[in-house]
Amino acid sequence: MFSKSKSKAVCDQILLGPGGDRLLRAIGKEPGAGGIIGPRALPAAMRAIIFAISTDEARQAPSCNGPGAQIGVERADAVTLRQLAWPLIEMMRLAYDEGEAIVWHGP
């Protein structure tokens, strides 16, 4: 699934697949049909995404305690939630600065 996000403040963005769905769910929105985030709701949405990133990174941090722990080993092709979220957070910041909403629609 994908969502296309728009704001008068910045160019369009496309959120793809499970990563995009996770970002929308992090701000309390269901992926699919579409939606809107008004300017006043943008700060809370940005905080929610940053919290989701922190939670995701804490969950994925390697443990030194368990058997077979592999410190510093990552999949080279893995895209983190932080990487997926950064363009959306920037879009939100710019839209907020301009007093604009973000609107998205699904396929």
Report yes or no on 74 lying in a domain: no
Of these ranges, 7-11, 13-17, 68-72, the one predicted with the greatest mean pLDDT is: 13-17
Structural domain that includes position 8: 2-58+80-105
Specify the number of domains making up the chain.
Answer: 1
Alpha-carbon distances of 50 from 6, 19, 20, 28, 79, rounded to whole Å: 20, 14, 14, 13, 16
Q: Answer whether residue 39 is part of any domain.
A: yes
Distance of alpha carbon 66 from alpha carbon 1, whole angstroms: 36
Flag whether 33 is in a domain.
Answer: yes
14-23, 25-34, 56-65 — most confident range: 25-34
What is the pTM (predicted TM-score) of this model?
0.73
Model confidence at 63: pLDDT above 90: no
Within a domain: residue 38? yes
Interior angle at CA 100, CA 98 and CA 104, nearest 5: 140
Residue 97 lies in a domain: yes
Judge whether 64 lies within some domain: no
